[in-house]
Structure 1
């Protein structure tokens, strides 16, 4: 069956991973999005048109991460790759700890799912496996795929996830620095190979508490977001992030590094806490930070068919 002429639209949420103590395990989908339109064409090759974040910066050929992700799925499923025309409208900041690379991978995987509909069936387990193969770990791609709060882990059978609903009182704010970025690879290189036993026990307790806080008891978020496994080791690479988190936490707010940073995630126990956080950031930041008052995205990535004329 030829898929030439098929066109799909994909919408993928931003994510924030770790959430403090849940290093490489917990992730949350957020209501800021990348949107993608993909058409399968007869002419070989890949052409990518980028609008918004990354315009003029990211590759516009087959080396584009979204295009590589589509190709990965087709190769895994033993399907011939058609020519591809992509139009990306990106809203997720790059290099800021909001899962932009994970979102690009998920967008490509979901686009491939839509293009291959009726040819092969890609279930949730397969989608997670393919996205994790490209990303390297599932903590960002799981919430981008499935929405909500996700617990991700790896078993002998591959990556796994559990999606949970978040208490309606939980109110996220992400503070994004205008001029500062952080490489995930650099952030990971600052991690020690081992940590003290007491620190491991500390984080196990806080991670368990964090699940309860997010789904049932938001008033526990401040205590539940304490961490000893990764943030302190990375602080020297993000001094302003570290200083602002200290200010926010001293004022009773559940502030943590968003993903690899340098953005800051504040998990408010009610919407009013976000206003307090924004005011503190404005007062104490020495550079420009943009406070994004977001909702938890419960749907995850979506894909739907388009008439070819809509994206021609």
Structure 2
């Protein structure tokens, strides 16, 4: 979810400018949120990375080179989410920029439920934090607070920042997250369809409340899922059973819902990735991962021939956002 970021002109004008020639490159993973029952609280970092390079200019201009996903549709001006997030982050840190040269290489598909907007704001805020003088830089918790505020919730930004399995929660306007290591045998497989679904549209399908029984059942499965992901992958199938959101969203992504149902009938831990429509399968070992890939290919060919699917066998990213280049 994209938040409109507005910077008071007088505050920005009075702040010191970052000197020209500062350069930073940030590599940030795609993420899958919810993971079935962990609605708005669980997220997993995936080995699918966007790269953002930001260099400060003295010209007062904005140069934007964009390649990969979104290259044909996204703006290359100050309205781009990355530009707004960098500008806002610098403002919060007490600085401004005279101009920017931005190079974005996007691999993460947009509008598919793999946290593309979260990856963008995490990359942008991480870059801004690295551009300011060392004494003014903040820690990853500060990045979590700002990016969660921008996104509206921490479930995607937390794994993008910290890597691994992120368990996140909110108290009033304070966001928190802790990282858990995922069992080595867990292999994420994603099936990305060639149609998009906005997070806002997916959320609009959810009821205002659910019954006590459904909530209790869901909390038990979420607890089991954490145990399955970290220690006992043999429980991934029952641990990914959801009672809160997937059934309500199925109508907006019928091909994805049908594929998930078929995979689960075969004993595979399939869920909607984020708000969808990507399908995520948490396989237990390489043999099951290959079986999943083969099943997806045969099922979609016979049942959803009108939809193009991009199937990828990934890994869990254990690092999160990483500053790769920093010239001062």
Category of TM-score, reference length = shorter chain: over 0.9
Name 2:5's counterpart in structure 1: none
Contact 1:114–1:305 (8 Å) recurs in 2 = no
* Displacement after TM superposition at 1:307 (Å): 4.5
- Where 2:168 maps in the other structure, the secondary structure is strand
Aligned ranges for residues 208-227 of structure 1 at < 5 Å?
208-227=223-242
- Does 2:39 match 1:39? no
Structure 2: gaps spanning 5 or more residues? 1-15
Alpha-carbon distance in structure 2 between the residues aligned to 1:117 and 1:143: 26
Unaligned runs of 5+ in 1: none
2:90 and 2:129 in contact (8 A); partners too = no
Aligned to 1:80: 96
Q: Distance in 2 between matches of 1:150 and 1:117?
A: 29
TM-score under structure 1 length normalisation: 0.96
Separation in 2, partners of 1:117, 1:252: 52
Partner of 1:173: 189
> 2:319: which partner in 1?
299
- Give the deviation of 1:156 after TM superposition: 4.0
Residue equivalent to 2:10? none
Structure 2 counterpart of 1:162, from 168, 178, 184: 178
* Residues 143 and 149 in structure 1, CA contact (< 8 A), matched pair in contact too: yes
1:306 CA displacement: 4.1
After TM superposition, list the pairs within 5 Å mapping 1:4-83 onto structure 2.
4-83=20-99
RMSD of aligned Cα (Å) = 1.3
Contact 2:118 2:151 (C-alpha < 8 Å) held by counterparts: yes
Q: Distance in 1 between matches of 2:156 and 2:28?
A: 12
Partner of 1:283: 298
Cα gap change, 1:32/1:117 in structure 2, threshold over 3 Å: closer, same or farther?
farther
1:112-151 aligned within 5 A: 112-151=128-167
CA contact (8 A) 1:3 1:116 kept: no
Inter-partner Cα distance in structure 1 for 2:279 and 2:88 = 32
Q: CA deviation at 1:36?
A: 1.0
Alpha-carbon distance between aligned partners in 2 of 1:102 and 1:276, rounded to the nearest angstrom:
31
* In structure 1, distance between residues paired with 2:151 and 2:182: 25
Partner SS state of residue 226, structure 2? helix
The one of 107, 110, 125 equivalent to 1:91 is: 107
Q: What count of residue pairs does the alignment treat as equivalent?
A: 307
> CA separation in 1, counterparts of 2:74 and 2:106?
11
* Cα distance in 1 between the residues matched to 2:325 and 2:132: 11
Shift of 1:288: 2.0
Secondary structure of the corresponding residue to residue 136 of structure 2:
coil
TM superposition shift of 1:16: 0.2
Runs of 4+ that moved beyond 2 A: 304-308
Q: Which moved more, 1:59-68 or 1:76-85?
A: 76-85
SS in 2 for 1:43: coil
The CA deviation at 1:45 is: 3.5
How far apart, CA to CA, are the structure 2 residues paired with 1:124 and 1:169? 28
